[in-house]
Structure 1
């Protein structure tokens, strides 16, 4: 069975375990059903997620030109504290930025090998946690816009990590009695005074279940270096496909790549 198309991040459904769908030019392939099967992945070109040109992907699925021009690749995507849409000030496209930034946002704690702090739009819960490979997650604040959430995160970053260590996340080593509520109580004092009103202890910790068991070794595979990859799918966590022998492909890192997927039945 052969599929081909542009890679976009996997779609997910929060079930027991989480269901994953590989998005190839908007054709969805249930990857859970392919666990235990051998597949070949051939890199055959590029297609920028913004302009659709066959240009080498620079970052986040964008070609270099679009990465530095598209509002969907604005620095506020990575650094929400730089958001200015609430002031009526645009960076690249105010209308687009208002749609993204002037919406309720969640500040959360997540366990992804270590406890980290993060920010996402309220509509992206629990998708954001699944994409990061979080085993546990807990909202600690709900803000009116992206800037407010970003300023809380900046204060939290002085005490907690804000990036996922992908290797630790895939090692899947955690204590069953981990309770993020304890961390929530500790970080309350770190909230900036003008944003303390957003703090919340109303939510319960969420545990996420992945179709995944950690291998003995972990090796990252890039289609830039290995354009013709073959392996037996063993599991999925975050946006990573886990293959027999400890090889991993980060689907999110390959957005905008054109591939041919050959599944051996």
Structure 2
């Protein structure tokens, strides 16, 4: 069985375990069905920008050509730093885009892995954002009417919680079992000043996330197509946006957005 085309980050469906689908060309590969099988991924040297589609020698910011990296709204700095969003002031690279992405409800959340992480995402990206980060569980902390306010809450809480995921520990499934997100939410809410505490969410439900992994790596050896145009091995699992192979090897699919691949299931 062979698939060819440009890939994008895996689409996910919340289930037990989570279901993964890899977009490639005009198709989607149900990746859970390949766990336990040997697969080969081969890059032919072609990379297409995920925004404009043109060929690019180098991929910037997980899939953009340099021009789109500089100008596309989905590549702007406020995507990574929501507190910098100025769409509520009528300022954006593209206000039409911002109305659909910045000027809508956002959630500030707490996610558990080896530590408790604070993050921000659009309401349409729950639980996708949690899954992409490889969180073991997550809870909504606050709901805001735009991206900027959510970013301000996140910045305030960075003094108390990490805003980064330790991807190596995530892939080794190092989870702090003592974390109680409901309690952490109460602590975090109490830390907020009154003008921000008004946005605390009434939804106290905790979402537990189970990943389709047969074996986690004892150490993590990261693969990429610049160093190895052909990657082959037995697929042992998927977590976050990573494929986990035998011999402790992992491949970050999102990092390779726009890469043209040939994928073969060899057994």
CA distance in 2 between counterparts of 1:32 and 1:80 reads 33
Deviations 1:85-139 (A, max 9, x none): 111222x111111221110001000013221000001111111101110101010
The alignment status of 1:35 with 2:59, answered yes or no, reads: no
Matches of 1:225 and 1:112, distance apart in 2: 30
Paired residue secondary structure (1:8): coil
Write the distance in 2 (CA, Å) between the matches of 1:169 and 1:148: 28
Greater shift, 188-197 or 95-104, is seen at: 188-197
Structure 2 residues not aligned, in runs of 5+: none
Distance 1:23 1:14 in 2: 17
Aligned to 2:208: 207
In structure 2, C-alpha distance between the alignment counterparts of 1:159 and 1:178, rounded to whole Å: 15
Runs of 4+ in 1 over 3 A off after TM superposition: none
* TM-score, L = length of structure 1: 0.96
> Aligned-pair distance for 1:59?
1.7
Residues in 2 aligned to 1:159 and 1:10: alpha-carbon distance in whole angstroms:
31
2:10/2:253 contact within 8 Å kept: yes
Paired with 2:195 and 2:245, the residues of 1 have a C-alpha distance of: 48
> Matched residues in 2 for 1:49 and 1:133: separation?
23
Q: Aligned residue for 2:228?
A: 226
In structure 1, the residue matched to 2:50 is 49
Structure 2: how far apart are the matches of 1:174 and 1:165? 11
Of 75-84 and 185-194, more deviation after overlay is shown by 185-194
For residue 177 of structure 1, report the CA deviation from its aligned partner: 4.8
Q: Which moved further from structure 2: 237-246 or 22-31? A: 22-31
Matched-pair contact (CA < 8 Å) for 1:113–1:171: no
Cα distance in 1 for partners of 2:99, 2:27 equals 30
Structure 2: distance between partners of 1:11 and 1:103: 22
Residues of 1 paired with 2:77 and 2:193: CA distance?
Answer: 22
User: Is the Cα–Cα contact under 8 Å of residues 120 and 151 in structure 2 kept in the other structure?
Assistant: yes
Task: Give the one of 239, 242, 252 matched to 1:240.
Answer: 242
Note if 1:16 corresponds to 2:16.
Answer: yes
- Gaps of at least 5 residues in structure 1 are none
Q: Distance in 1 between matches of 2:134 and 2:238?
A: 9
Q: TM-score, normalised by structure 2?
A: 0.95
1:88 to 69, 83, 90: 90
**Secondary structure in 2 matching 1:65:** helix
Query: Partners in 1 of 2:186 and 2:17 — Cα distance?
Result: 30
Shift of 1:14: 0.6
- Separation (CA, whole Å) in 1 of partners of 2:193 and 2:259: 41
- The answer to whether the Cα contact below 8 Å between 1:152 and 1:192 also exists between their aligned partners in 2 is no
Q: How many residues align?
A: 264
Counterpart CA distance in 1 for 2:167 and 2:233 is: 21
